[in-house]
Structure 1
């Protein structure tokens, strides 16, 4: 199958990339990061997470972030809303798109959100219903699609089952997450083939972590299968909490460099994006995990 002509990047750096940072990051820094990403050409930015500050202290200023955004025309600013309370708060903040998350692993679901997969899906039904009433789109995430820190291998059929349930519930798009980054291209392709039997390819996205250095190879494999939406994080922000010291999200700069090299349109200015990665990592005192970003910065 030919590569897609264009790919939409979903930038998760401001939320997934920053949420595990131990030191508080100012709201002003978060807002500047989001604005710089918009200037670079990102058209979908996950800006905040409406979870309890008790569980994710870094996202405690979600309301201030959502209401303080300098909204750019044509840019979607979304937020994670795991429950009805979170959704209501996000709606008050003027959110136009939200995301819910489930897992393809029972053990991960129990340890991460203290309930079974079936229970987690049932909890989302009122969230989807309320979002529909508010005319807000809902995106679904599935964790552990290529491996689980507790169960190891995950059957592609299980990923397909959870993805289909989220789609039928009303999620316009389902993002397939290799949460611990253990996937390889063949496993990624087989998983996607299984999921795509039950739902359209144009309703699927890839959210691959780079823990084992396979994210770009895995993305190449699913691009060949027809995936045209990729989640990524500027400068590769966001460690993997299940692999100490390991990188987490694939870097947006590296993904854009790959896509442009394949002649695929993104609408993103790579130099501006790389500058943003350099700025945010220096600001929060983190290493820049984007190989492309580091190489471009070294050119001076």
Structure 2
């Protein structure tokens, strides 16, 4: 099995540019025939694979470029900037995204009885690693299963479980397990991030958020920035603005109504923050978005659960 085999199987399904949901609920396929502009989006818990072409993801000051033969694991919801950097009509970008459920991963990690993590293990919520042959084989089998719809309900959960086991036992494993390990600073920060995702439109006091995860405010701020590259307030602001962009695109809301919906008391402050993040005022940005070809092809999700 090779990455070219995976690209071939994906191309049989994703025959046109766009984002393709599949009969396997957590699996989506993505195709682009040209490079895309950088796009702000939220990456959730999941595994991104580029089978053909290449892309770039930026988280704060961290820039990750990856192409065929590499896999990108994102362990928590992250505001990133991402775009396809290599694609053309002859060899379009082909990517896939497999999302995971933390409530399934956690008991798997416990069941595997893996050795303790090294104390010196650096926290990481986005991990890039070569795509190992056994994992690639499982991904190919999962995509091929789409051509046998009568078997999906029975076999897809088994292959997905195999993929999760291989991730936990492979190069991504230490980073993933660190975030699943109850009581670890990374796990506590991930809990706080999940809470913020659910309550991003409300007022948040750092002291209350720190108390929620049993940390002092100063320790909480330190661990949060170390893990995400931004402060809790910056993280909440990006969640709000990402949600605002989706509301204006999908529900045709005006900026003032959207600002109130996502928790801003001041429409002018909303417009300033929006322009700072997206590079243009809300109305101009939405018009630009409506005229653009597809942006980032994988891993992007809205802030809400």
* Higher alpha-carbon Rg: 2
TM-score, length basis structure 2 = 0.31
TM-score, length basis structure 1 = 0.31
Higher relative contact order (CA 8 A, sep 6+): 2
